[in-house]
Amino acid sequence: MTFLHVAGYAALLALLVLGFLIYRALMSPELQYHTVWYKLKAKLFFWLGDIRRLDAFPFVTWASHEHKLDLKDVREACRKIRPGDIGIHRDSGYLSNLGIPGGFKHAWVCIDNNECVEAVSDGVVRRDNMYPLLTDYAIILRPLKVTKADIDKAVERAKTLEGCEYDANFNFDFEQTDAELERYTSNLKSGSFHGAFSCTETAAFCWYHRKKELGIFRSMQAGREAIVADDFLKMNFGIVWLSPTVTDEWAVKNGLHEEGRQKIKDFRMGRRDFSEADSTISDHDN
């Protein structure tokens, strides 16, 4: 097979993919709320996000893979999780990891009944904590010095976002959303609200009512203000659990910032913000 044949097949495949994305975008019912360009961009973003790198031919795949954490690790993490906790994780091999700086790539917020709320390509969903914990590298973080009332409010805010779209524009407009939260809640119940949230935006927004105390901030990412998963390790959250795969060496290799590496090191050495006895949310009352 000559180079021209390979190039021709590649061009044909690209055209087929583009045609499929255009078809899906044009057929999308959300076009009454978004432009065709936005839907094309979102479809392409989600399609690329599902591609995984392989070490052998054909070098990429959309197939699922076995994770480094087994069910024993996941069960241990679930036993320690409390409502209001934030989880961050990284799945290995996904091409979308290249577009997100730092060691961790995804975030979610834990609510009640062993469930969490997280933003994925299908939108903001509510499901069992095991879903995001079946991964390769993970940390569970707990807000420092908050009350049970604060936690209850964070959980309520998380539930409010269920059903929203994923924000492919990555607009971290916390202030506007926070100011209109009551109207959003009402509209969600009526099915007429079509807001959008990314994964880290969802986790941060749930605690935005304590933004000053928790040090929730946006950093410059690719020319815009945003929050990446690693940023939560710079905020006032303490580690309550981390997977055996998260080591000092791994953190350095994957570009985790110094504050995060120090938190991991302190946790490994027993210098922890939360003791093993700190097992109920009532322990957070001031």
Report pLDDT digits (tens) over 15-52: 887 777 666 656 666 555 667 677 667 766 666 666 66
CB 53 within 8 A of CB 98: no
pTM, entire model: 0.74
Strands 237-242 and 165-166: unpaired
For residue 25, give the amino acid letter.
A
**Interatomic CA distance for residues 47 and 138, integer angstroms:** 24
For residue 231, give the amino acid letter.
D
Please report the pLDDT score of residue 36 as a whole number. Answer: 66
Q: What percent of the chain has pLDDT over 70?
A: 72
- The per-residue pLDDT for range 54-97, each reduced to its tens digit, is 566 655 555 556 788 989 999 999 999 999 999 999 988 766 66
Tokens of 269: 């050495």
Give the DSSP H or E segment for 153.
helix 148-161
Please report the pLDDT score of residue 22 as a whole number. Answer: 67
Please report the pLDDT score of residue 282 as a whole number. Answer: 36
First-residue to last-residue Cα distance in the chain:
72
Please report the pLDDT score of residue 26 as a whole number. Answer: 61
- Segment-wise mean pLDDT, segments of 10 residues, the chain, 286 residues: 67 78 62 66 67 60 70 94 97 70 92 94 91 95 96 94 82 76 62 73 94 89 82 96 94 94 95 68 39
